[in-house]
Structure 1
Amino acid sequence: MIKIVIADDHSVVRSGFSMILNFQPDMEVVATAADGVEAYQLTAQHKPDVLLLDLSMPPGESGLIATGKIHDDLPDTKILILTMHDDEEYLFHVLRNGASGYILKNAPDEELLQAVRTVYSGGTYISPKMTNSLVKEFVKHEGQGDKTDPLSILTKRELEILPLAAKGYGNKEIAEKLFVSVKTVEAHKAKIMEKLELKSKPELVEFALKKKLLDF
């Protein structure tokens, strides 16, 4: 039996996918979550084989942040990204951060089931609509040499702070949300600006928007 946790901020999506998966003789949805924080907690609690994780889950923690945390701390759970975004930047970022698959929400039921079984068995599943982007990016990197993804040079904590700072939260508010000191937040923000070579708050906001780190 493949144990599954579903994380999506829309209850109708969680219910719909739960029905599809629970109908299979070899699958069982053991829990559902509404954001990245809850996804982490329920994954730690239930230790599922597969986590279906949505990328955009406002106002809670997004799947972009949760992917790296869950992969690092709970590596036995395979992460299958479930999203509406057929965007190659999303695809490459989550794969670099430990996701085992990437499937679009409008995919047929049969594709969803295939994706779950593929990542469960140790494989990688990429939505057919995204494979062309993957091949093109690989060819480009082979020809030009690998260029560092700006997000990949940030730590997990910096990836938490960046979108909060871009949304306008003050240092004290960020510190309270992340249970750290104000000085820690200030130090991380300085590091973020230095690593990304940003000079001002508007540049930080622009970067976060381009990288789709803001869910309004």
Structure 2
Amino acid sequence: MSDEAAGSRHPTRVVLVDDQSLLRAAFRMIFDETDDIRVVGEAADGDQGLAVVRDKRPDVVLMDIRMPGMDGVEATRRIREDCAFAKVLILTTFDLDEYVYDALRAGASGFLLKDTLAEDLLSAVRAVASGAAVTGPTVTRRLIDHYVRREPETSQAERLRALTARELEVLTMIARGRSNSEIAREMYLSDGTVRTHVGRIFAKLRLRDRVQAVILGYECGLVPRGRE
């Protein structure tokens, strides 16, 4: 983001939720060096985090996945249910972490490793604040593939009845990790037509982003395990 663009908008408001005070301090120092991101609150566990989010109304919550008391998965679920204005970015030590999958299902917009570079942290917060997901579909599918062992969920698959045949085809492509431009090329459609289909799919299925679309596609059996 350019300095001019950053200055033309209100700073992104961030709440830090992690039981490691040194990590919270390190992240705060990184954000304090920017003009477009401001830390408005901190918490050491999920219970405190939920209270701070309700009070401070941040744009983005950086959420530790494993904490005493209420963990990051349950805190994410509560925030997405009660404080939908706040988007959640999960912090984890390992990129293949079974709890991350649960947090993505609960509504998190993506995840970051705790040792991520400062520039990547800033980019991720800006992306999530703008409504994007920071975890690519391929990485999300790898996480799902590694930890989930189950047959397609009938209740989830029934949701797909709301889609047209073409929309179902587009959703399948999203679940396989294809970008809009790749979908357009493979299906011989214009970029605008693909964007329209994606928008309708998200609206009909009440999906927030492509990460949730990948999870739903997997749970409905659109993409078999182990297939890229």
Q: Which category of TM-score, normalised to the shorter sequence, fits these structures?
A: 0.5 to 0.7
Deviations, residues 103-149 of structure 1 (Å, cap 9, x unaligned): 110111111111101110000011x7x944525747xx9xx96258x
SS of aligned partner of 2:111: strand
RMSD of Structure 2 on Structure 1 (CA): 2.6
What CA distance in whole angstroms lies between the structure 1 residues aligned with 2:121 and 2:78? 24
What is the match of residue 102 of structure 2?
Answer: 93
Equivalent position of 1:12 in the other structure: 22
Identity score, percent? 39
Contact 1:80 1:101 in 2 (8 A): yes
TM-score normalized with structure 1 length: 0.60
Whether the aligned pair in 2 keeps the contact of 1:88 and 1:133 (CA below 8 Å) is no
Partner of 2:60: 50
Partner of 1:37: 47
Counterpart residue identity of residue 83, structure 2: L
Query: SS state of the match for residue 53, structure 1?
Result: strand
Q: Distance in 1 between matches of 2:120 and 2:51?
A: 27
Tell me the distance in 2 between the aligned counterparts of 1:108 and 1:84: 14
Count of equivalent residues: 143
Q: Find the residue that maps to 1:44 and give its secondary structure.
A: helix
From the superposition, tell whether residues 50 and 12 of structure 1 become closer, same or farther in structure 2 (CA, over 3 Å).
same
What is the alpha-carbon distance in structure 2 between the residues aligned to residue 136 and residue 8 of structure 1?
22
Using structure 2 for the length normalisation, give the TM-score: 0.57
Q: Cα offset for 1:61?
A: 1.4
Q: Relative to 1, partners in 2 of residues 1:57 and 1:136: Cα closer, same or farther, differing over 3 Å?
A: closer
- The 5 Å alignment of 1:146-157 reads 146-147=152-153
Give unmatched runs, 5+ long, in structure 2: 1-10, 155-228
